[in-house]
Amino acid sequence: MSLRLGDAAPNFQAKTSVGDIDFYQYLGDSWGVLFSHPADYTPVCTTELGRTAALKNEFEKRNVKVLALSVDSEESHRGWINDINETQQTSVEFPIIADQDKKIADAYDMIHPNASETLTVRSLFVISPDKKVKLIITYPASTGRNFNEVLRVIDSLQLTANYSVATPADWQDGEDVIVVNSIKTEDIPARFPKGHTVIKPYLRTTPQPNK
């Protein structure tokens, strides 16, 4: 059965490029990003892992731990990391999971038979501290992921988890947000003292509450 938003993220134990891990224990009380790659030594993935490593500080300041997954062995991962570090001028320090039996790929529905019978597609999952799946993005193997968008979505998820707001199209951290419809317009000033704008009865905006 496919994994859906709001489902519990399956726990797993795995060998990785940095040793054995238990997924839940590794995450602890952090948010998590788990993303898969078709195989080691693939060109698009090399750029993606390099970009992720370069964004280490951005993930850390959001309390996010990152894990990558490929169906190759941890020994293969370590050799590939040398190439990534060399070609992308970075240092990959996060774990790359070895999923040779494809158990994790199957648990997270990362193999799409019509795309490839054996290779994982580019799936990315954002997982909240309570171990629930909050975001699923799936790219074809030929298209590299946009990690600025991943960070943007994490900003939105963390904001909306703590405040009764939603984020509009193309929203960036620091911009106005939408007050959810469960809050009556007359109740907005008490909840959002920075002010608000009523565009339509169902569309009310307010400055980002945590800025």
d(CA 18, CA 62): 22
Q: What is the pLDDT of residues 101-118, one digit of tens each?
A: 889 988 998 875 554 544
- pTM beyond 0.85: yes
pLDDT on residue 113: 53
pLDDT on residue 115: 47
Length of the chain: 211
**Residue 17 CA to its chain's centroid (Å):** 20
CATH superfamily of 13-146: Glutaredoxin (3.40.30.10)
Active site residue 200: no
CATH superfamily of 163-206: Antioxidant, Horf6; Chain A, domain2 (3.30.1020.10)
- Spot the catalytic one: 34, 45, 68, 126: 45
d(CA 198, CA 178): 10
d(CA 133, CA 185): 31
85: tokens are 């570090």
Residues of the chain with pLDDT under 50: 115, 117-118
List the one residue out of 19, 82, 26 whose CA is nearest residue 50: 82
**H helical segments located in the chain:** 23-27, 43-54, 56-61, 74-88, 103-107, 147-162, 188-191
- Domains of the chain by residue range: 13-146, 163-206
pLDDT on residue 117: 47
List the one residue out of 108, 147, 92 whose CA is nearest residue 14: 108
